Structure 1
Amino acid sequence: MTAQKNVANRRARAADLISLPVVGAGPSAAASTNSIIQNATFYNNPSGVLNYLNWTQHGLVTPVRYQGQCGTCWAFASAAAIESQYVLKTGVLVSLSPQNLVDCAPYLTASQNNKCIGNTCEYGYEYVYANGIQTEQSYPYTSGNGNVGSCYYDPSKSVTNVNYYAYLPENDEMAMVKAIFNIGPITAALYAGNSGFQFYQSGIYHEPECSEQVNHAVLIVGYGTDQTAGDYYIVKNSYGLNWGESGFFRISRNLNMCGCGSSAMYTTIAH
């Protein structure tokens, strides 16, 4: 199974999961999601999702990390999405290894000779589907200085495997909200080249002239609505705690802002 195989089918089949009820197999995850439902305020529309949700408040998101001087955002984002699914399966929050993906995952053709150029979350999911992934503790991050080492993955130390991943319908931000509500945090890509993003400190990021040529992967952990600024996503970045809102940012929703609705993905795990 290659990373490029059946992408159209995966995108089409995304609707199979976004209509499911909230999942939560682990005891603490189940308690968390039940609490969310019991205290919910719902949109007055058929979608039946919360009008505000932030999975960091319910134990599904590990602390913000720093990717450094290497284009490894895709590895941090895909590892983070798998971490959230692991909590929902087991009730245990554990940091998984972006470096495992950086060293070992398949790459876009343009990045094969310089892995710090970048990659996509799809390749990260594909690797964990086929091989598994270690913890951050057993396979620590070392590429922050711009260097990538050789793969030393040990299958005996794998924590989990992806059993499914898919693109959500392109530029369908209601599907994204449903996926965040029903499945958990999802990965997305956006254009991060504007100075307004690079030096973002707080508030809802809104860039009317922003390019839709995406170049940065992130984890969307929730969404909400501001009475003045409108709908937004809550997003975990990999620029460290000193960037943005303690490593997170909010960005306008329902406008495909900076291309964020063009290549959103979700994943589920086997165990």
Structure 2
Amino acid sequence: MPSQPPIVGEQLHALVVAAADGAEAESRALLQATLPLLVEYVAAVLVDKDDGQTATEKLAMRNELLGAVAQRVIERGFLAEWRQSPAKEVWRFLESRVQQFAAARRDRAWVLRALDGRGAAAKTLLFARLRQLFDGAARHRKLGADEREDAFQSFSVWLLADGGRSLLRWDPEGGRSFDGWFFARALNQIDTRRRSADASAVDELVEDLPIHDASRLAAHMHLGEIDRWLKQNCSERQYDIFIRNFVEQQSATEIAAAMGVQPGVVYMTILRLRRALASFQMT
């Protein structure tokens, strides 16, 4: 808690009950008792994330958030929930709910500033934060480093399409935090991209030449030349996939299971390697 509460929990609980059962005078007494810490709660939210605001803008935001918080604290629904807290938890309840509410309002304003064409710094910082969320989702889904950049670019396009419609779909009044909502969207984007890649890879494999067509490759180049080309132009993982598939005749599903990656990743790697090798010319 930022500072020592001006009154003990039992006293605050009595004020909450009185405000819930009373009218304007009781609500004013509750606000007067809690205002010093409400100011600190809001200040803590504003320093938690840098959204590129100037000192003047931050002051205006603080005043706006403080007014919104004060109004929320004396709403009937909030008071009805607050009074259910044990006396020893009433300050903690207030801190948690106020900071959650203020953070959501701050983040909503941040999104709007990033999209209005004037907040260049806000947009840069917002996407840095979104990148962190996306990278966390990518690690959660065990997305390889070679896929992550393309996947994030796809995520960014989705966010900014139609004037940022997807960014604006997050509603702080819906109960989900900015980080929670966009982390879930990043997971969904990664899963959708993988399903699409798997389907495209399967279609291409059906329509294209057989994968295990080593004889056709050998007809154009010696195996030693192939090996040298692979080591010079491919990552260790791509080389491993080539050996497993072309030499050891393992299926893409078997390779994916052995290497701990998605089958679609293996399919696409095989296709790219085979096409690159097909265009390779011995000197």
User: Is TM > 0.5 for Structure 1 vs Structure 2?
Assistant: no
Q: Higher RCO, 1 or 2 (CA under 8 Å, sep at least 6)?
A: 1
TM-score, normalised via structure 1 length: 0.20
More strand by share: 1
Q: Say which one has the larger Rg.
A: 2
TM-score when normalising by structure 2 = 0.19
